[in-house]
Structure 1
Amino acid sequence: MLSVTEAEFDCPTAYLNTATHGLLPARAARVLTQAVTEMSSGRMDMNRWFQRIEAARSSYARIAGVPPGRVATGTSVAVHVGLVAGSLPAGATVLVAENDFASVVNPFVTRGGLRLRTVPLERLAESVDADTDLVAVSAVQSLDGRIADLDGLAAAACTHGCRTLVDATQSAGWLPLDHGRFDYTVCGTYKWLLCPRGVSFLTVPEDGGGLRALHAGWASGEEPWESTYGPVREPARSARRFDEPAPFLPYLAAAESLALVEEAGPAAIGAHDRALADRFRSGLTSLGLSFVPAEGAIVSLPGIGETGAKLAARAGAEVSVRAGNLRAAFHLYNTADEVDRLLDALSALPSDG
């Protein structure tokens, strides 16, 4: 466990399931408790709460490496991707990776009138051509932890003049990434950024990247409190014009969680997470168990999902099962002892050899 987090987490299990949902830090839980008390007793300070939403936006912007004016708030990746899909011209061609997370792919399907091309993740960059209008991909695959070739993708998109959309939900917080290299990035923050569900961010180019503010309300006005009735006279000049109205409770907690990630530092978190994942992969090799080749914080073992998860649970370790694979995820609150506990549990499995 990183020292900066020692006072923030007190989980009774070996929680190796951040790829499903991260743990909430103590500081975020305290803020939520206080806000619920204020709501139930009629002591809401909405001006202060809106300031905390802006603090969350700014904190995320620093993690993403872009100015706050390029960050829009929202509640889910699917809504952000739907905004991008809804802004594409009819007949546009969208390139995606096989078996990518549904929230990255399905909004382009349900939009209708678009051409969807699907290729293996390893061939994504080489499949960009002159007919491609947008490439959408997760930086890290939810299913098995594989990391996309984002350098190759950025270069191919530049060569062929297409736009890019990168989902950082399974990477932001441990895999440093310059979001400014891509037209759009989206991120659900309830995993590696340790926020509650209901907090998601969208980054856009300075000029808005051709997006239409399809769900613009009063909060997306340049002067929100002067935009509460009738048509909004002036949309926000920043990415805030693409905001969904932010729900108070998740965003109040998010401001605290994102501050913690900043304090620990994504680079240091990434080094810690990768070291634990490498320890796990090395142990699996010693046990004769196979895993999907990847270099990040997620390790996926094909074909042993339910059996492996039961063994892990008996040993007090929390993992997940995806498409029949056992998936373990290692984050800043995990320790080498927890890795070894999971390896001991999985030693009961027959080896692949």
Structure 2
Amino acid sequence: MDGPTLTGHSGGMHRREPLGGAEFAPETTYLNSASSGLLPARSAVALRAALDESASYGTMGRDYFGAAAASREAFARLLGVPAERVAVGSSVAVQSAFVASALPAGAEVLAPEGDFSSLLNPLAAHPGIKLRTVPLEALADAVRPGTALVAFSAVQSLDGRIADMAAVREAARAHGARTYLDITQAAGWLPLRADGFDFVVAGAFKWLLCPRGVTFMAFGGEYGRGEEWPAAPYAGWVAGEDIGASNYGLVRPAATARRFDEPHAHYSYVGAEQSLGLLNELGVETVHGHNTALAEYYRAGLAERGLTPRAAPGSAIVSTPGIADAEHRLAEAGVRISVRGGLLRAAFHLYNSTDDVDRLLALVG
């Protein structure tokens, strides 16, 4: 995808202002969306109203399911899938444990080395699963007969590398393997479609700008379209077809992916409805162009200083060795950033600007 015309430092770039207007006015220079995102103003307003409402109507509010349903719909629009194929939950780790439970005894799971722990640990801990890891770049070639599942992140949390999702998907199909794609570090800025993968999970508190406690699982493949859904080992009353009659005893599960819903954190989904609404208004393509332009501007500035980040073409995450000791200096100057694996990790999102990049470069050295 073509990026913006560059002009400025190192040939530079046209000044780029934040997206979202009055939705964001951070007191910090916030470059840490790979850890957690900023909450839009509209989401904060909705959360305060929900808290006030709870003083008279209880902590489930007047409409416990409304915000979760709207969030499900908004997430489905972002991913281009029907809302009936999306479940709501609380964490990626819980969803990974669910996927593990859907595999047969003795199943081989293939995954990239060093992928995020919430994706890998529940798979490795499940009795009978054999977890095999290979370098990310070798993932598609490593799928073999007998591989039951390929589990991987669309974007690596550590250094922003983007997986060759199409190659992995096709290799898995060729060997009859399921696919489990974690889009936590991709959803909200990287254009994606979920319908080509069997399981797609997203922790929404990073690039999707939602409160912590919002997670979505989208189902692709033939699940629910002729093929039976997997068992729902964590199903509770919210997963019943008739929620009003699902409080007691054994109930009939929902006909849609809602059968995998967890009882959701109400306040978190009140905020999520608003945050996801903003992203749908702006459009992921627009956010993608903005974020990657800033990342390229930063890479150019690093190169002028003789610094070389980890290779991650097209990524909004830039992780650089040799300057991790700058984190303390940056924090004192009000720049929020992170260090992972000895790399200074900068993550550029819609509320960032070229001024933020210039400030970061000046402080890095």
TM-score by length of 1: 0.95
Deviations 1:71-113 (A, max 9, x none): 0000000011110001111100000001000011001111121
Q: 1:298 aligns with which of 296, 317, 320?
A: 317
Match of residue 119, structure 1, among 111, 134, 146:
134
Partners of 1:159 and 1:43 lie apart in 2 by 52
Query: Is 1:22 matched with 2:37?
Result: yes
Task: Write out aligned runs for 1:57-206 (5 A).
Answer: 57-205=72-220
The aligned runs of 1:244-263 (5 Å cut-off) are 244-263=262-281
Q: Distance in 2 between the 1:2 and 1:342 partners?
A: 16
SS of 2:195's partner is: helix
Equivalent in the alignment of 2:12: none
Residue deviations 1:39-60, cap 9 Å, x none? 1233677453411210000000
Paired residue total: 345
Deviation at 1:161, TM superposition (A): 1.1
Alpha-carbon shift at residue 211 of structure 1 (Å): 2.0
Structure 1 position 207 matched with structure 2 position 223: yes
- C-alpha distance in structure 1 between counterparts of 2:131 and 2:67, whole Å: 39
Query: Residue type matched to 2:239 in 1?
Result: S
Letter of the structure 2 residue corresponding to residue 213 of structure 1: A
Choose the corresponding residue for 1:54, options 38, 60, 69: 69
SS of 1:134's partner is: strand
Find the counterpart in structure 2 of residue 285 from structure 1: 303
Give the letter aligned to residue 323 of structure 2: I
Gaps of 5+ in 1: 348-353
Q: Which stretches in structure 2 are left out of the alignment for 5+ residues?
A: 1-15
**Against the structure 1 CA distance between its residues 45 and 322, is the aligned structure 2 distance closer, same or farther, given a 3 Å change threshold?**
closer
Distance 1:333 1:253 in 2: 18
Structure 1 counterpart of 2:21? 6
Which of 230, 235, 238 is matched with 2:253 structurally?
Answer: 235
Deviations 1:185-221 (A, max 9, x none): 0000000000010000001135257521011011101
2:364 pairs with 1:346: yes
Q: Mark the CA change 1:315 to 1:93 in structure 2 (over 3 Å): closer, same or farther.
A: same
Secondary structure, aligned partner of 2:208: coil
| Distance of 1:70 and 1:267 partners within structure 2 | 23
CA RMSD, 1 decimal: 1.5
CA distance in 1 between counterparts of 2:261 and 2:73 reads 14
User: CA–CA distance in 1 between the matches of 2:62 and 2:148?
Assistant: 41
| C-alpha contact 1:49 1:252 (8 A) present in aligned 2 | no
Paired position in structure 1 for 2:329: 311
TM-score, scaled relative to structure 2: 0.92
Post-superposition Cα deviations, 1:249-278, rounded to whole Å, max 9, x if no partner, equal 000100000000101111100100000000
Residue 3 to residue 337, structure 1, CA distance change in 2 (3 Å): closer
Flag the structure with higher helix content: 1
Any conservation in 2 of the 1:280–1:339 contact (CA below 8 Å)?
yes
Cα deviations by residue, 1:298-345 (Å, 9 ceiling, x for unpaired) = 00012432x121232243311001111110000000000000100011
Indicate how the Cα distance of structure 1 residues 157 and 271 shifts in structure 2: closer, same or farther if over 3 A, else same: same
| Partner residue in 2 for 1:38 | 53
Q: Is the 8 A contact 2:50 2:61 kept in 1?
A: no
Q: Distance in 2 between matches of 1:177 and 1:222?
A: 30
- Give 1:226 shift: 0.9
Map of 2:240 onto structure 1: 221
Does the Cα contact within 8 Å between 1:4 and 1:263 map onto a contact in 2? no
The CA distance in 2 between the partners of 1:326 and 1:134, in whole Å, is 32
Partner of 1:324: 342
